[in-house]
Amino acid sequence: MPIARILFTLPLPEPFDYTVPEGMALEPGAYVAAPVGPYDRLGMVVEVLPDQPGTNRKLKAVTAVYDVPPMSQPMREFLVWTTRYTVSHPGTILAMALRAREALLPSPVELRYRLAGPPEGRLTPARAKVLEQAAALGLASSSELAAAAGVSSSVVKGLVSMGALEEIEEAVDLPFPAPDPDLPGAVLTGEQAAAAGELRDGLRKGGFSAYLLDGVTGSGKTEVYFEAIAEVLRADPEAQILVLLPEIALTQAILTRFEQRFGAAPAPWHSGLNPKERRRTMREVLHGRARIVIGARSALFLPFRKLKLIIVDEEHDGSYKQEDGVTYHARDLAVMRAKLEDGAVILASATPALETVVNAEAGRYTRLRLAARPGTARLPEIELIDLKRAPPEKGKWLSPVLARAMADRLAAGEQSLLFLNRRGYAPLVICKACGERLKSPGTENWLTEHRYSGRLVCHLTGYSIPKPAVCPKCGAADSLIGVGPGVERVAEEVRVLLPNARIEIFSSDTAQGGEATRGIVERMAASEIDVLIGTQIVAKGHNFPNLTLVGVVDADSGLKGGDLRAGERTYQLLSQVAGRAGRAERPGVAYVQTYAPENPAMQALAANDRDGYLAIEREVRSELGLPPFGRLAALILSAPSAELVDSFALQLAEQAPNTEGIELFGPAPAPITVLRGRHRRRFLVKSLRNVDLSAYMTAWAARLKVPSQVRLSVDIDPYSFL
């Protein structure tokens, strides 16, 4: 019998050998079930080998093979590359590609009913009502017919036995409508048309190509890459396209734009979908029928049959970095996946990451610029408010300059947006009697006060309690006070400042799910909100025609800490949120409250000098050998006790390979030293650009047996230093 080498969706380091039963046809990429211990597990065939006589190996047999197309060779190569790059188990990466495993089975079916012919026998009034509804609905389930007619389901069954209704089996998971690339798109400006033309020309040539679509906020980047999508759809009837977005909140708005442009909404993929929706999307992708998929970073691991174009919208966004489990950056993996698929990748942003800009300037990416907004819309003016010179009143957070500007906009019938990247009412709760700072148990993380819900919440672990009436340490009553502003506290201040204004908060607390998000966006777009106060969820992708003022409450918060990208990320975020203003005929202005107006990021923001700021960042990082001119990796250890994690960290440091071009820093306590009751230590590894850092980290991690109570994780190119 031939031998199948099978990789399972388990954290195992290698595939295992099984015999292939007679009559079962297997090929690399086939999805199978095979026994692991007492249970059958899902796996994928890596290789099929002829049996080797004389080995007398006692192998178990493959149990079953799923009747679906096998995983494509480019996808299998992508999983192998990702395994090596992220220093992960191959089975863990395979599990990421098969998250909706029910998609390997045929769609479930349900019985539906339609008119069949004249009934045999007398019609009661109830039966007549059902037939009337069946004529109106066409094809409907028993419950739908019964509810519409106001009767029980037994009446429907009776009509079937009379021959008046017939049962039809219909798949629950219907195919997605096919997009039409030939529907008319938006009228492009000369600049947009030139960029779209260059994309079309490059796509017609075929093969791997990478583009940076570099356009100011509101310049029409989406309309340009729509033309690239249309070109791919016209050229190949089997081609598939993936569009990545950094936030689920953006998905609904852009789904509508896709439907308007192509006559059909794309298949969605993100954590907000229910199991049925995820099953449907993955099945259609697996069979090659989903032509366009739009989703979050995990959509990159869907098993596409023929992926020919990947678009990474807002490519600079930190949300593309996966921090839990397998750590990876979706932008970097998207480029590699496009290369292995022999397709194209478009990275779109108004504030591209320095890494992307350097790749474009080196000729690895083709750069397409959109320097202006279409029509009469102009980029907003940006004014820095020096809080040392124009401070808010005591107990308040808005400068008089910003407060007056908001009142003027309200009087003019225009909208304002206040941005503060802190959820809740106050980011810290202390006891004014004893000074105790309330923290999440087993974590050195402060609890945030949420006044609307009356709870204290840890945004890191999800821990939540009602706000205590007394201090848990000293027992003092009514002594707990919130310190610092969150969006709820700013909203409270605005209600006093503008009592007649319609005010809403837009954060992950108030917009839980697609319907709530869509409701806020639609009300804002329809000018049913005067002042919107939000976290970074408001900064990306939204188009509010009547919004003319943006106020940044605390521009300095992102500059704190030891993050090498702190300045760049602050500039990107503030530039994006400022770009929400003045996107239609009315001019916009953004006020940025800061205690550090002399900071290079703030100066570049006020001067709209992104390239000048990136030149400063480039010089600093090049001098220090930091990304993109060098490489970084982090190794994070955690254990139930400080003694255990410190002991193993020292052993690990002693076993670090001595390699030229590598610098090792640590071990050191992580900034969040205790998380969920586990003590954490970090190593930081810095290398030259030409060093294979993944191979180094793999060799180092393999030198010691990790104790069962110690967890070790590797992060190639870390974005978080907590």
Indicate the pLDDT class of residue 489, thresholds 50, 70 and 90. Answer: very high
Please report whether residue 436 resides in a domain. no
- Say yes or no: 551 and 646 in one domain: no
- Say yes or no: 50 and 146 in one domain: no
Please report whether residue 261 resides in a domain. yes
* Backbone angle region of 561, left / alpha / beta, with phi > 0 → left and psi within -120 to 50 → alpha: left
Question: Which CATH number is 24's domain given?
Answer: 3.40.1440.60
Q: Are strands 209-215 and 292-295 parallel, antiparallel or unpaired?
A: unpaired
Q: Are strands 589-594 and 547-552 parallel, antiparallel or unpaired?
A: parallel
Please report whether residue 623 resides in a domain. no
- Say yes or no: 594 and 509 in one domain: yes
> 134 or 240, which is more confident?
240
- Say yes or no: 660 and 561 in one domain: no
- Say yes or no: 400 and 522 in one domain: yes
Mean pLDDT, residues 280-297: 95
Residue 383 has which token pair? 């004014």
Please report whether residue 362 resides in a domain. yes
Tell which residue, 594, 565, 506, 498, has the closest CA to residue 720.
Answer: 565
Q: Which residues pair with 65 in a beta bridge?
A: 32
Q: pTM of the full predicted structure?
A: 0.88
> 540 or 143, which is more confident?
143
Residue 484: per-residue pLDDT: 85
Residue where a domain terminates, one of 97, 127, 146: 97
- Say yes or no: 312 and 350 in one domain: yes
In tens, the pLDDT along 547-592 reads 999 999 998 887 776 678 888 888 888 888 888 887 667 888 999 9
Tell which residue, 638, 640, 663, 662, has the closest CA to residue 649.
Answer: 638
Indicate the pLDDT class of residue 170, thresholds 50, 70 and 90. Answer: confident
Mean pLDDT computed over every residue of the chain: 90
Residue 462 has pLDDT above 90, yes or no: no
Residue 694 has pLDDT above 90, yes or no: yes
Distance CA 611, CA 508 (A): 32
> 246 or 248, which is more confident?
246
Please report whether residue 129 resides in a domain. yes
Residue 597 has which token pair? 């107006």
In tens, the pLDDT along 89-105 reads 999 999 999 999 999 99
Please report whether residue 434 resides in a domain. no
Tell which residue, 397, 399, 486, has the closest CA to residue 449.
Answer: 486
SS3 130: helix
- Say yes or no: 397 and 332 in one domain: no
Residue 54 has pLDDT above 60, yes or no: no
In tens, the pLDDT along 426-460 reads 888 999 899 889 988 878 788 888 887 888 988 77
Domain that holds residue 66: 3-97
Question: Which CATH number is 546's domain given?
Answer: 3.40.50.300
- Say yes or no: 700 and 604 in one domain: no
Residue 581: per-residue pLDDT: 81
Indicate the pLDDT class of residue 55, thresholds 50, 70 and 90. Answer: low
- Say yes or no: 386 and 363 in one domain: no
Residue 691: per-residue pLDDT: 92
- DSSP designation for 318: G
Distance CA 423, CA 485 (A): 9
Residue where a domain terminates, one of 63, 97, 131: 97
HEC readout, 582-637? CCCCCCCEEEEEECCCCCHHHHHHHHCCHHHHHHHHHHHHHHHCCCCCEEEEEEEE
Bond preceding residue 667 cis, omega within 30 of 0: yes
Please report whether residue 251 resides in a domain. yes
Residue 281 has which token pair? 């999307």
In tens, the pLDDT along 343-359 reads 999 999 999 999 999 99
Distance CA 679, CA 198 (A): 53
Distance CA 341, CA 77 (A): 9
Least confident of 285-289, 290-294, 636-640, 669-673: 669-673
As for how many domains the chain has, the answer is: 5
Distance CA 182, CA 720 (A): 44
- Say yes or no: 251 and 166 in one domain: no
- Say yes or no: 509 and 598 in one domain: yes
Residue 556 has which token pair? 């300095």
Residue 451: per-residue pLDDT: 83
- Say yes or no: 83 and 152 in one domain: no
